[in-house]
Chains A and B, each alone.
Chain A
Amino acid sequence: MTDASWTRSGQTASFTDQYLLSAFGAVLVVLLFFAPELVNPGLLFIIGMTLIQSVFALSWNLLFGYTGLASFGHAGFYAIGAYFTGASLRYGFPLPFVVTLLVAGILGALVAYGIGIVALKRLTGIFLAVLTVALTEALGKIIGFTPALGEQDGLGNIPRPIINLGVTCLDLTHSNAYYRFLLIACLLIIGGLWWVIHSRLGRTFRAIREDADRARFIGIDVARYRVISFMISGGTAALAGALSAPWTRIVTLDQVNWLASTQPMLNSLLGGFTSFWGPVVGSVVFTSINYWTRNYPGLSEMLVGGVLVVIILVAPTGVLGILGKLRARLLKGGRA
């Protein structure tokens, strides 16, 4: 009898938990939606960047946390999206903005496909790490030689788009309007990634991460699914970049080096790569550290680097992992 009530109370707890989390999420989304009325423009810009960084980090984590492959040059994809969108808005390509975003995503996925078919069959592990770093650096060099892309100075003065809906126009030139568009786009992309990870495809990815050989034995075409994961990840990263170009209104070479590639990595590990929301939590934590330490040179690198090392050593599952463990311990303590 005690056993039964135990289970039931446990179930109720997790049910309430889920309910609470959904409520929390809904409140957060509403707050985010009204953020332009609640905070100053400087902070709004940072919130927008955090949203973009969350999507970027989630795209990296699809590769690392769910498929077991580490790209050390993910900034390359982000830059492809950002430069493509930036150039298309700046030079007025006759493309509707939403189509531009989609093309940017497809471009990222195609580049990922190209790298994937060359690299993922033979080169996993350290080779993949070095190859992705080198390719991103090479892309940075190529952009640096292209006058149309602003060479070393970056592509500035990017106008914000106006979306023509036929009946009416959606004017995104004001930052508040573009922020809301950004928020909705990010939520849609995050929803899409959630769906991918919780679908059959996502389970296949996880099977490959757990044990590639066994996955092969049960008939999974490992190389093919690795390429698919790489494509989704690269495409999403390019989308994050594409959304960032009109928000920052300038795209620079700082976004195309291997240090920029480590941003999604830091965010994912900081938050916890084993959970879906980890990269989002990590992006928020990272931005906060940067925001509070912005007046002390070197402190933010020291803090972030130190936290990263400590996380790998003591809690490889990140902030969410620690919270989960704490919660389990507290609940256990409560019951005993």
Chain B
Amino acid sequence: MINQFVFVLFNGLASGMAFFLVAAGLTWVFGILKILNLAHGAFFMLGAYIAYTIGGASPSSLWTFIGVALLAAIAIGIMGLVTDKFVLGRLRNVDYHYVLIATFGLMLFCEGVAKAIWGSDYYSVMPPPEVDTAVKIGSSYISLYTILVIVIGLAAFAVLELIMNRMWAGKIMRAVANDPWMAGTIGINVPMVLMLSVVASFALAGFAGGILVPNQTLSVHVGSSFILYAFLAVVIGGLGSIRGTFVACILLGLVESANATFLPEYGGIAVYVLLAVFLIARPQGLFPPQGAL
């Protein structure tokens, strides 16, 4: 029994951190621009494909693996710059429906590009050799790669929290998120801050793509499974709150993993129950960001 709990705990944490890596960029852009970027999952997928193309199917070491993920982050960040210039930047002051639909169009476009370049074949990528083993915890085996994902997720959360709460850049971002007009009058370059937020969010998506490729087979649909959980986490966490999204991701990961272990014949249903409970009992989310929305 205890073994099963250890297993559920580690798996849950690992998928929770995987969701968080994808959701972090989503919630960041949501908090600052009030945009729900439906194309986020597609850019995550492009990041995974780019990492696969640069790094190949079996990365030679842990550091090349992380380096490749960072390159993917840079590539997707540049795409974010272009997207912001041509699409998102022009939709700053329109009804959110149009933004949702435009980002949806972007998502389709990216999927088309991926299909045209990489075809509809499935690829699989190995974890780097250092973490391609399992360790024994109690009497259950946990893959080291799983622990790596957990560590990277925690590190990403720590960095984002530091930036948001302790650093000058985060204070400017919160000022812009709360009141762009006032932020502009005190001399903050608001369009620049918004653009940098978009680029950071896209870069996060690309990085997540690079880190999470070994988790599953790579295909055009790789984004959609993660992005759905990311949406749920953003809603449960309180729209735009990084801390809330983090807690929601862990919660979703644990619920999903417990569901898969104890009720395998109804896999994937418990998270929707969780969502329904939250929407009815606490529609504002776990940590609703103050002043925003």
Binding site for B on A (CB under 8 A): 64, 70, 72, 118-119, 122-123, 125-127, 129-131, 133-135, 137-138, 141-142, 145, 258-259, 262, 265, 269, 296-309, 311-313, 316
Contact = CB atoms under 8 A, between A and B. Distances in A.
Interface of B: 36, 87, 90-91, 96-98, 100-102, 104-117, 119-120, 224, 228, 231-232, 234-235, 239, 265-266, 268-269, 272, 275, 279-280, 283
B268 A141 contact: yes
Nearest to B269: A141
A302 B112 contact: yes
A311 B87 CA distance: 11
B280 A118 contact: yes
B267 to A, nearest CB: 8
A29 to B, nearest CB: 31
Nearest to B272: A138
B136 to A, nearest CB: 34
Nearest to B228: A137
Nearest to B102: A312
A134 B232 contact: yes
Interface SS of chain B: helix
B105 A308 contact: yes
A302 B36 contact: no
11 contacts: A130-B234, A131-B279, A141-B268, A145-B266, A269-B101, A301-B108, A301-B111, A305-B108, A305-B111, A307-B105, A309-B105
A329 B80 CA distance: 37
A130 B235 contact: yes
A127 B30 CA distance: 13
A301 B268 contact: no
Which of A129, A135, A301 has the most CB atoms of chain B within a 10 A radius of its CB? A301
A305 B110 contact: yes
A123 B283 contact: yes
Q: Which 8 A-B pairs have the closest CB atoms?
A: A301-B112, A305-B108, A308-B105, A298-B115, A305-B109, A302-B112, A298-B116, A138-B272
Nearest to B285: A127
Contacts of A258: 224, 228
B236 to A, nearest CB: 10
Given A70-B100, A134-B232, A145-B265, A312 B91 contact: yes
A229 to B, nearest CB: 15
A306 B105 contact: yes
Contacts of B283: 122-123, 127
A312 B119 contact: no
